Structure 1
Amino acid sequence: MAEHPDRALVRRACTAFSQGDLDTVSTLMTADAVHHLPGDHAMSGHHKGRDACMDLYRSLYEETGGTLRVDLETVLCDGRGHAMSVHHLRAERGNRGLDTKTGHFFTVVGGKITDIDECVEDIDAWDAFWGP
């Protein structure tokens, strides 16, 4: 049985992101895509538009000095334009480390990602890592 197209799209985007291939990630998103990053820190909030999302992703890599590692564990879909991914994320930033699970809820329209809601396993650890 073939993989559902929404599941394949999200898997491709997550794999490209984990490899630092932001050019490919960009091609898989609509121009008006939004990424909602949780937390209470400088990078949290609603990143509106593909360019803003790409700026966010570059910042995540820069802030961690290239130590950001995101291992995709699974992708689920509902067959109606929604998919969820679960990841194991590890990173270092200054003298801080982060080792946690994250999840993303994707909305897919016309074969492209239009919206990403991110959730984290431990919001307090997340804020402590990304905060000042």
Structure 2
Amino acid sequence: MSAIDVVGRYGAAVAAGDMAALAATFTDDAVWHQPGAHQASGDHVGPEAIVAHLGSLMVLSAGTFALETESATESGNLVATTVRFTAQREGVTDLDQHGVDIFRVVGDRIAEIWLISEDQAAEDVFWG
């Protein structure tokens, strides 16, 4: 299975809201690097922590957080995807940004993800 296929499985699980399938796409020691200076920032290690982190984004946005992959390309075990993510929170300007997610794949699972937002300062304000 190619690295881009592994990331495709991740994307399908996210789109379906299938948390068990999503967790299965990560290595046991996978690291999700959430950039910024807000309450959800930091490194989240392991499938359970990553799924819990994504769940916290859903809670903070009252279930409105959405992630759409626009394109993907691979180089060896690295995959870069362009994404659009949106969310709403009461009392805060809606979040609607593009970004790049970079995945490092080991075997048939994701070992690491780095996120790059088009406007990190606005994202920091949104998540609080």
Candidates 81, 86, 90, aligned match of 2:82: 86
| Map of 2:114 onto structure 1 | 117
Query: CA RMSD, aligned part only?
Result: 1.2
Query: How many residues are paired up?
Result: 127
Alignment identity in percent?
31
Runs of 4+ in 1 over 2 A off after TM superposition: none
> What is the distance in 1 between the residues matched to 2:105 and 2:47?
14
TM-score (norm 2): 0.93
State the one-letter code of the partner of 2:84.
H
Structure 1 residue matching 2:88: 3-state secondary structure: strand
1:67-115 deviation digits (Å, cap 9, x = unpaired): 112111011100x211011111111012221000122111001111000
Aligned pairs (5 A) from 1:1-40: 5-40=2-37
CA contact (8 A) 1:34 1:49 kept: yes
Whether 1:67 and 2:64 are equivalent positions in the alignment is yes
TM-score (norm 1): 0.90
Report the CA distance between 1:31 and its aligned residue: 0.9
State the one-letter code of the partner of 1:87.
V
1:20-71 deviation digits (Å, cap 9, x = unpaired): 2221111111111000001001110111121111110111111111111211
CA contact (8 A) 2:61 2:87 kept: yes
What are the ranges of 5 or more consecutive residues in structure 1 without an aligned counterpart? none
> What is the distance in 2 between the residues matched to 1:107 and 1:40?
24
CA contact (8 A) 1:100 1:122 kept: yes
> What is the distance in 2 between the residues matched to 1:42 and 1:125?
14
What are the ranges of 5 or more consecutive residues in structure 2 without an aligned counterpart? none
> What is the distance in 2 between the residues matched to 1:95 and 1:63?
12
Report the CA distance between 1:19 and its aligned residue: 2.9
| Map of 1:101 onto structure 2 | 98
Report the CA distance between 1:18 and its aligned residue: 2.9
Structure 2 residue matching 1:55: 3-state secondary structure: helix
